[in-house]
Structure 1
Amino acid sequence: MASSALVKPQVCGLLAGRLRFHIVGAFTVSLSVAAFYKFAVAEPRKKAYADFYRNDDSVNDFEEMRKAGIFQSTKCFWDVKNVIGLVPCS
């Protein structure tokens, strides 16, 4: 009578059941991490770069650095406004 109350252990299909459970769990976790990264990191970074380059004036920055004397390793400074012809400054 005691042996009829015990449940037989599952032997057939045990590995397939555990694999199915863990594959679904891993897929769910990876999708949630990817969505979190996209909305918490990638989108704000993309917006920050767009805002920076929308208001950036690299020619003006170069002229300010040239006037400040940052470029000391070169003998002659090139005219930024005529980059195609590369006319040296006088």
Structure 2
Amino acid sequence: MSAARPQLRGLLKSQLKRDFSIAAVLSVGAAVMWQAVVVLPRKRRYEAFLTNLDADKEFIRMREAGVFQSVKPGGEINDEAW
């Protein structure tokens, strides 16, 4: 009884088919996991933040803290910044 002969012709082609299909399945799985674990929770957090955001109140808070150069705390315009 003799051993089976090794596949010499088309070996690279057959291995590439298998490896490419494995890589495609793994990459799609990783993309779906990233979407479920990172993207969707981040979207929900942004949406919750933006529904509760009062932009005018935040501006006044930052103005009073002295964050802006063009507006002094209290609301007067800073001519020295220009």
In structure 2, distance between residues paired with 1:33 and 1:20: 20
Q: 1:71 to 1:38 in 2, by over 3 A?
A: closer
Gaps of at least 5 residues in structure 1 are: 79-87
The residue aligned with 2:69 is 73
- Report the RMSD for the aligned CA atoms in angstroms: 2.0
Give the C-alpha shift of residue 27 in structure 1.
0.1
The residue aligned with 1:39 is 36
Question: What is the aligned counterpart of 1:48 among 31, 45, 68?
Answer: 45
Largest Rg, 1 or 2: 1
* Aligned residue identity for 1:74: S
In structure 1, distance between residues paired with 2:71 and 2:28: 56
Gaps of at least 5 residues in structure 2 are: 78-82
Q: TM-score w.r.t. structure 2 length?
A: 0.77
Alignment of 1:1-90 (within 5 A): 4-66=1-63, 68-71=64-67, 73-74=69-70, 77=75
Q: TM-score w.r.t. structure 1 length?
A: 0.71
Paired residue total: 75
Q: Which has the higher contact order (CA 8 A, sep 6+)?
A: 1
**Which aligned runs of 4 or more in structure 1 are off by greater than 4 angstroms?**
none
